[in-house]
Amino acid sequence: MRIYIVRHGETDANKKGYAQGRTDDPLNKNGEILAGITGCGMKDIHFDCCISSPLIRARQTAEIILRESCNSVPISFDNRIKEMNFGSFEGTSIRDEKVVRFLKEPVIDYRFPDGESISDVMKRTQEFLKELISKDDGKTYLVSTHGCALRAMLNFLYEYPGDYWHGHVPYNCCVNVIEVKNGAATLIADDLIYYDQDMAIDRYKE
């Protein structure tokens, strides 16, 4: 069994440097291009199932990857893999003091006003992933999600789970691959990108 977990392509909020969270913005043109390149890079993979966050940027990413990789499976949706709810900080610049602190030194139990904490996101995303892993059905899954949700979901599989961001916020359309054998899950590909490295922009660096 293999699970391919991808972060959505770029949006205007990503490009402008805003905390997006649950704000339901679509991909921008560059986001569509990155998703298309990623799909072409995955054309030799046969997906049996696709599960996406219901937010439009994740759904569009899944649709483009499936189309460009010549897979025609339907997409199902799961609210547990939505992005973190930043509450009243949604739409705030990532240069805001509290957002900067969240990106540099994430506190697992810090809750944004009217939003979620990292521990909340870890609970729901890991419930989703562990439930999927437990199937161990020999199928190949595509999962389309978000940056913070992806890190929360994979945290228990990282060698150093205390480094929440795993070195950096995931690049748009990066792919992480989990292999499941006899019920045991191993991360075999980490933040893989199919496009040119020069296009992998870390907008969260100062």
Alpha helices in 12-146 (DSSP H): 12-16, 29-41, 56-68, 97-104, 118-135
Q: Which of 80, 68, 75 is nearest to 146 (CA)?
A: 80
Dihedrals phi, psi of 77, to nearest 5 degrees: -125, 145
Distance of CA 75 to the CA centre of its chain: 16
Active site residue 83: yes
Query: Annotated catalytic residue: which of 10, 83, 90, 116?
Result: 83
Cα–Cα distance for residue pair 202/206, rounded to 1 Å: 9
> Is 168 in the active site?
no
- Rounded-to-integer distance, Cα 2 and Cα 190, Å: 14
Q: Which of 66, 100, 83 is nearest to 23 (CA)?
A: 83
- Run of H or E residues at 3: strand 2-7
Active site residues: 8, 83
